[in-house]
Amino acid sequence: MFTDTLADRFGRTITYLRLAVTDRCNLRCTYCMPTEGVVSLNHSDILSWEEMECLVRLLAGIGVSKVRLTGGEPFARKGVLPFLLRLSNIPDVKQLHITTNGVETAAHIPQLESMNLTGVNLSLDTLVPDRFARITRRSRFTEVQHTLAALLQSTIPLKINTVVQFGLNDDEIGEIAMLAKSHPIEVRFIEEMPFNGLVGETFACTNHWIERRLQSLFPGLQRNESQAGTASLYQVPGFQGQIGVISGAERTFCGSCNRIRITADGQLKTCLYDGGVLDLRKLLRTGATDDDIVSAIRQAVLRRFVDGHAAEQVHPSDKKSMSQIGG
């Protein structure tokens, strides 16, 4: 078995994989894709569950201990639960998470709970049904509400992801943040990033705007300095949970980035902005050995860019949708 860890030439060790299990989705969020959606991959171009499991096992053998399933919408692909169960039995995978829009999630929560999933991130941009329909271009709020209620009652650690859009939900920050008052959850407000399948947009709700808004709503807000990860976390006196702000534009966390991504069609991304640096599907389907694959991954990680700005210079953003990247 492999023993060395996976590290880049800047001394960053990779321990976290975000695996997009599909590019398909049952919503059409305005910040993620255009009205007509994006062209879906052919089924044969998407990694099979067996191929994905093989990659997770290889990565777990070189130090990847946290895996997050994402998409598209993970629950839009048949077979995600048995897949999660198999991953939960890989001893070196210590943390197993999923990011979901909640539309088809509620019914699966007891099973997620019984496999000791270490976290669910639920995307929730509004608590108002009409707004939900406007933001996601689908009327599925009731299902998401059921998922939220079931998750709040479950033992699974929960984080809420709210992308803040000016004129759509910027006035709901306070109400959504209040979910962390009576529940030990993390409510994270996300600065919109330019991955909505279009080009050349700028966004009004920056992370600074969100932070100022939170400070005016919750004057006792205090920064939690002992944090790790992409969110700046805050505590409000009397709240059981925490509030987070995730900056998309500044990329201040690149220096400690421990994550890689694999897209649904098997492209390895060592940075959100690198456009894909290794075709793992091709390796898997042309008889590469485990050693070949691990060695190719190591080489790709060694070529990793110093930060997202450098990656973007080499791979300027095209009309990518976050559903094709996995968030």
DSSP category for residue 64: -
Lay out the site mask for ligand SF4 across 86-115 (x = CB under 6 A, - = otherwise): ---------------x--------------
Strand residue runs (E) in 113-227: 119-123, 158-164, 186-191, 222-223
Q: Count each helix (H run) and each strand (E run) in the chain, helices first.
A: 11, 14
3-state secondary structure of 234: strand
Q: Count the residues of the shown chain that bind ligand SAM, applying the rule CB under 6 A.
A: 22
Lay out the site mask for ligand SAM across 142-171 (x = CB under 6 A, - = otherwise): -------------------x-x--------
**Cα dihedral 175, 178, 179, 183 in deg (nearest 10):** -170
**What is the gyration radius of the CA atoms in the chain, in angstroms?**
19
Our finding on whether 325 is near ligand SF4 (CB under 6 A) is no
- Number of C-beta neighbours around residue 316 at 10 A: 9
Give me the residue whose beta carbon is nearest to ligand SAM. Answer: 327
Our finding on whether 192 is near ligand SAM (CB under 6 A) is yes
Our finding on whether 148 is near ligand SF4 (CB under 6 A) is no
Our finding on whether 28 is near ligand SF4 (CB under 6 A) is yes
Residue 199 Cβ vs ligand SAM, minimum distance, rounded to whole Å: 13
Q: Contact 285/163 with Cβ under 8 angstroms?
A: no
Nearer to ligand SAM, 180 or 294 (CB): 180
Nearer to ligand SF4, 34 or 63 (CB): 34
Of 68-76, 84-92, 227-235, 269-277, the segment contacting ligand SF4 by CB under 6 A is 68-76
C-alpha torsion sign, points 293, 299, 300, 301:
positive
Our finding on whether 31 is near ligand SAM (CB under 6 A) is yes
Residue 280 Cβ vs ligand SAM, minimum distance, rounded to whole Å: 20
Name which position in 16, 66, 67, 72 contacts ligand SF4 (CB under 6 A). Answer: 72
3-state secondary structure of 156: coil
Name which position in 15, 30, 165, 196 contacts ligand SAM (CB under 6 A). Answer: 196
Distance CA 326, CA 264 (A): 9
Closest CA to 324 of 17, 27, 16, 32: 32
Name which position in 8, 14, 56, 73 contacts ligand SF4 (CB under 6 A). Answer: 73
One-letter amino acid of 52: M
Q: Under the rule (CB under 6 A), what is the footprint of ligand SF4? A: 25, 27-29, 32-33, 71-73, 101, 123, 322-323
